[in-house]
Amino acid sequence: MPPVLNTNTICTPPPSTRGRKKAVTFDTVPDIALFTNSLVHIHHGNSLEFYDSWPAPTVIVSDGGYGVLGFEGDTSDHLELPKWYEPHIKAWAAHATAQTTLWFWNSEIGWAAVHPVLEKYGFRYINANVWNKTKAHIAGNVNTAKIRRFPVVTELCVQYAFEARINDVPLKQWMLAEWERTGLPFREANLACGVADAATRKYFDRGHLWYQPPPDKFQMMADYANKHGAAEGRPYFSANGKRSLTAEEWEAMRYKFRCPHGYTNVWERTALHCGERVKAPNGKAAHLNQKPLNLMTLIIKASSDERDVVWEPFGGLFSASLAAWRCGRKAYAAETDSTYYQIGIRRFSEPAPMSLNL
Ligand SMILES: C[S@@+](CC[C@H](N)C(=O)[O-])C[C@H]1O[C@@H](n2cnc3c(N)ncnc32)[C@H](O)[C@@H]1O
């Protein structure tokens, strides 16, 4: 794993507040500002400066500001988070494709504050997943009479998909407009798909119950429309006016998703399994926000294939990149803090990736 750059760059974190409870701060600057191996690119510096040089992401794992002074540059409350995230979200949208999934980690109030910004730039809400760290997280030490609320043992990991568009129209509206052009009644979509009523109900819903037809049903609808629809409007379901989209092209217009058997949107696991917590030389936790590798692996494998590109804009100790590397994905990450960067890249000098067939 040869490091490729040796610039000794000193990075300035974004202007904001100072983080609490940092275990150690190294005096040394990193020997390298970019760590690479065959699948991984990890920069020391502000991710905003690197997005343009990274290949388009299939997955973005965002674990940035929480509004709790969690690290140097985090804000002191959730109200500042939309402003903190907006330049990043704007850049993600500029590089996302119809296959891009964003996993947005945060507290529930942090997510609520940032959600409108994500929507504004075209990230469509899919699902909120709850990481339940269990009672072990509080170890019975909470004075609830003083805090006057239930003790919090959860974080959220919210799934978004980047909205696919054809000729600048969201797929939902495009589907509807294409069928309208045929002059056929909407109920004939059921006939086209060989179902009783599901096609018309799901594929032409105008609201949040809309369901993107799977490739085989899309193909059946396109074939039917081109055979029975008004002759002067053909081809239907075409992006270029010359031929209809193929089932494969349609498949590429939706985010990837495979749920392992038995999983729900509640992920129960204690914060970090024994031995997984990375320690600073003084024995303290090197980064208080280090995420469990198995949850990172879960979301990455659910939403990408081997060799796909995973972005981790707020690296910390690079848990998402490590998980991505270990299951054969390409990882692109950045971390502004020199100490976290130096400790984090050491995690990649451990054993080689697991089998790409995982
Ligand atoms: C919540 S922590 C991420 C922890 C990480 N998920 C892990 O498992 O180790 C956020 C990190 O993002 C870094 N950060 C904040 N703004 C950044 C930026 N613009 N570019 C790169 N890193 C940034 C912070 O220094 C902090 O270490």
Ligand 1 geometric centre to CA of 61 (Å): 11
Least confident residue range of 138-142, 194-198, 253-257, 284-288: 138-142
Residue-averaged pLDDT of the chain = 90
Number of domains in the chain: 2
Give the SS3 label for residue 318.
Answer: coil
Chain segment 84-132, per-residue pLDDT in tens: 999 999 999 999 999 999 999 999 999 999 999 999 999 999 999 999 9
Coil vs helix vs strand at 335: strand
Range of the domain at 237: 169-251
pLDDT for 24 = 85
pLDDT greater than 60 at residue 11: no
**Residue 18 pLDDT:** 54
Same domain, 50 and 108: yes
Write down which residue in 196, 222, 251 finishes a domain. 251
* Cα distance between residue 211 and residue 307, in whole Å: 28
Counting atoms of ligand 1 from 1, which one is nearest the CA of 278? Answer: 9
CA of 255 to the centre of ligand 1 (A): 25
Shared domain check, 175 and 151 = no
CA pair distance 90, 120, nearest whole angstrom: 9
Residues 289 and 241 grouped into a single domain = no
Which tens digits make up the pLDDT trace of 312-337?
999 999 999 999 999 999 999 999 99
Smallest CA-to-CA distance from 314 within 280, 293, 291 is with: 291
10 pLDDT more than 50: no
Does residue 109 lie within any of the structural domains? yes
Q: Is the pTM of this model over 0.75?
A: yes
Residue count (the chain)? 358
Question: pLDDT tens across 184-239, in order?
Answer: 999 999 999 999 999 999 999 998 889 999 999 999 999 999 999 999 999 999 99
Pocket mutation for ligand 1, best pick of 111, 336, 346 (most atoms within 8 Å of C-beta): 336
Domain of residue 306, CATH code: 3.40.50.150
**Closest residue to atom 4 of ligand 1, CA basis:** 316
* DSSP string for 46-108: -GGGTGGGSPPPSEEEE----SS--STT--SSGGGHHHHHHHHHHHHHHH--TT-EEEEEE-H
Q: Ligand 1 centre and the CA of 195: distance in Å?
A: 49
Confidence label for 20 from pLDDT (cuts 50, 70 and 90): low
Please check the confidence at residue 355 and state whether its pLDDT lies above 50.
Answer: no
Q: How many angstroms separate the first and last alpha carbons of the chain?
A: 22
pLDDT for the residue numbered 14: 43
Tell which residue, 301, 352, 292, has the closest CA to residue 329. 301
pLDDT of residue 19: 57
Q: Are residues 208 and 341 in the same domain?
A: no
Question: What is residue 123's predicted lDDT score, i.e. its pLDDT?
Answer: 97
Around ligand 1, the residues with Cβ closer than 6 Å are: 14, 46-48, 63-64, 70-71, 73, 287, 289-291, 314-317, 319, 334-337, 340
pLDDT for 28 equals 86
